[in-house]
DNA sequence: ACTCTACCCCTTGCATGCAAGCTTGCGCGC
DNA sequence: GCGCGCAAGCTTGCATGCAAGGGGTAGAGT
């Protein structure tokens, strides 16, 4: 029934560098493979903006920093390229994909499409009551964040709320897409402009309207509100 | 239940093989890397249904059949797993992901969402006149296919038509998603049931309605027709 | 006959070595 | 001074070798 609403497990790794000397066998720390660590670390660096757009990075360097060989790093780069975060140039290196304004539009548009479809399915399959408690709780969390003027907390709740809608649809394909899009959006958020605190109140109102639409079982209304919501974000970026 | 199709690895070898003896340097033949070839060959085998759901395949076998080493095959498997065609079981092997009816629903639903969003963007960005000629031409091609009772031709035009809508939106993210979904849908088509020829007429009418909706710049109508269209497909699967 | 255990084989995950290609910078000729 | 060519250094792409981890099976014990 209740799935873990976890916002994202992707940003749970340590940053790059800082690999203190040589760690010959850190597999004891967890079941993560070396490739996973390389993937998570590099992705984190890209999303957080530590790696500038257009930066040319090589497998050997990352491998050295993580104390692993080039092979798992190579695999990580392939994954990141598939996700649109890197561009692999054969025998030259991997460049951190510069993001264009149009790309921001593209990502937001897809996010809107996926989430609207998820909301529609929740409503159509009569699972509104399942997700509503989570949504309300996150909405309350957001209200508190607004009151406390805590932007990070607000963003966390924001991510959680949108993620909860997608998770509630129980569509693994949608979840995968949403995760992909979320990562890229987060990168844009970090890289371009941090959402101004003044936007919080408006965003909160829209979120409340979204939850209300779900509560009213009105998929069309949800889509319409979501459209406005995304459009406003578009303007900010 | 969809498991009686069981095929063993022997059928896989025939599908993948054809590595003419030893080709020490076939890079002269094309720019495709070994990893790409492994990816394409395996994906083809999965989509075409030559590899049965649940089949356990190993990197070494594929590598041997293609005359390459395990490394590029490993990368290919990673990509296929990311696309939802394989499931990697650590130190056991890669199983061809069995597809469940719910997965079919999931894929179709996302396809609907992506394509509707693309149509909406085409209309909103006033590019209807750009795509309309292509759509009309493909529609005509479909009409001919119906008349000739040529199912394969019909399907090709069907794919082309939906792809044209996505391409017309000029959203790379949407295009990527659509490609992913298309592959999976094609696999389902090949594996579960071949669409009956009698469905062609109805599908054609719906396609005509889709194009008409775009022509009328009515995104809502497009979404509605698309919904019916997908729903019918859902029933077929 | 049945069960439990231990072993062997097969599997992946990763490290390393080697070859090929692109870029770049330096030296040489003009 | 300026342009061109060559070579060196970087990069990836792939092959191979090694170790660790499951699974199945055969054998021993009851």
Is the Cβ atom of B74 within 7 Å of strand D at any atom?
no
Residue A15 confidence class, pLDDT cut points 50, 70, 90: very low
Distance CA B68, CA B70 (A): 7
Q: Do A110 and B114 touch (CB under 8 A)?
A: yes
Within chain B, which residue ranges are assigned CATH 1.20.120.530?
101-236
Chain B from 80 to 139: CB within 8 A of any A CB:
82, 84, 103, 105-107, 109-110, 112-114, 116-117, 121
Percent of chain A, pLDDT > 90? 60
Fold of B101-236: 1.20.120
**Could you report the per-residue pLDDT of A130-142, keeping only the tens digit for each?**
999 999 999 999 9
Within chain B, which residue ranges are assigned CATH 1.10.10.10?
9-96
Tell me what pLDDT residue A235 has: 67
What CATH number has the domain spanning B9-96? 1.10.10.10
Within chain A, which residue ranges are assigned CATH 1.10.10.10?
10-96
Which residues of chain A make contact with B177, given a CB cutoff of 8 A? 110, 177
List the B86-89 sheet strands across, edge first.
B56-57, B93-96, B86-89
**Could you report the per-residue pLDDT of A34-50, keeping only the tens digit for each?**
999 999 999 999 999 99
Fold of A10-96: Arc Repressor Mutant, subunit A (1.10.10)
Q: Which of B113, B171, B172, B181 to mutate to test the interface with A (most CBs of A within 10 A)?
A: B113
Q: Do A110 and B79 touch (CB under 8 A)?
A: no
Tell me what pLDDT residue A230 has: 83
Is the Cβ atom of A35 within 7 Å of strand C at any atom?
yes
- In order along its 237 residues, chain B shows pLDDT tens digits of 333 333 333 333 334 433 333 333 444 445 789 999 999 999 999 999 999 999 999 999 999 999 999 999 999 999 999 999 999 998 899 999 998 889 989 999 999 999 999 999 999 999 999 999 999 999 999 999 999 988 889 889 999 999 999 999 999 999 999 999 999 999 988 876 665 666 788 888 899 998 898 889 988 998 999 899 888 877 666
User: Considering only CA atoms, which of B112, B120, B131 is closest in space to residue B177?
Assistant: B112
Is the Cβ atom of B91 within 7 Å of strand C at any atom?
yes
**Could you report the per-residue pLDDT of A140-163, keeping only the tens digit for each?**
999 999 999 888 898 899 999 999
CA of B5 to C1' of C20 (A): 44
Query: Residue A181 contacts by C-beta under 8 Å, 6 or more apart in sequence?
Result: A107, A110, A111, A114, B173
Residue B19, CA distances (Å) to A144, B10, B42 in order:
64, 16, 14
Percent of chain A, pLDDT > 70? 83
Query: Which nucleotides along chain C are within 7 A of a protein C-beta?
Result: 10-17, 20-23
Is the Cβ atom of A183 within 7 Å of strand D at any atom?
no
What letter would DSSP give residue A29? G
Query: Which nucleotides along chain D are within 7 A of a protein C-beta?
Result: 10-17, 20-23
A147 token code pair:
């009151």
Radius of gyration of chain A (CA): 19
Which residues of chain B make contact with A113, given a CB cutoff of 8 A? 113-114, 116-117
């Amino acid at each position: 029934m209740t799935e873990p609403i976890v916002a994202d497990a992707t940003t749970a790794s340590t940053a790059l560098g800082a690999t203190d000397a040589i760690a010959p066998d850190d597999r004891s720390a967890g079941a993560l493979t070396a490739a996973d660590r390389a993937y998570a670390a590099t992705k984190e660096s890209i999303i957080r903006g530590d790696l500038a757009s257009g930066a040319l990075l090589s497998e050997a360097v990352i491998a050295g920093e993580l104390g692993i060989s080039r092979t798992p790093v190579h695999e990580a780069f392939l994954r990141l390229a598939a996700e649109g975060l890197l561009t692999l140039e054969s025998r030259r290196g991997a460049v951190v994909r510069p993001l264009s304004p149009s790309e921001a539009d593209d990502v937001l548009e897809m996010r809107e499409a996926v989430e609207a479809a998820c909301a529609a399915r929740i409503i159509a399959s009569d699972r509104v009551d399942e997700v509503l408690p989570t949504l309300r709780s996150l909405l309350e969390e957001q209200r508190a964040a607004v009151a406390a003027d805590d932007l990070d907390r607000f963003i966390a709740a924001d991510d959680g709320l949108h993620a909860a809608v997608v998770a509630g649809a129980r569509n693994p394909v949608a979840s995968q897409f949403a995760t992909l899009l979320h990562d890229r959006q987060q990168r844009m958020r970090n890289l371009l402009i941090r959402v101004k605190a003044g936007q919080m109140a408006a965003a909160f109102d829209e979120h409340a309207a979204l939850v209300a639409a779900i509560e009213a079982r009105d998929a069309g209304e949800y889509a319409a509100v979501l459209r406005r919501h995304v459009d406003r974000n578009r303007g900010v970026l």
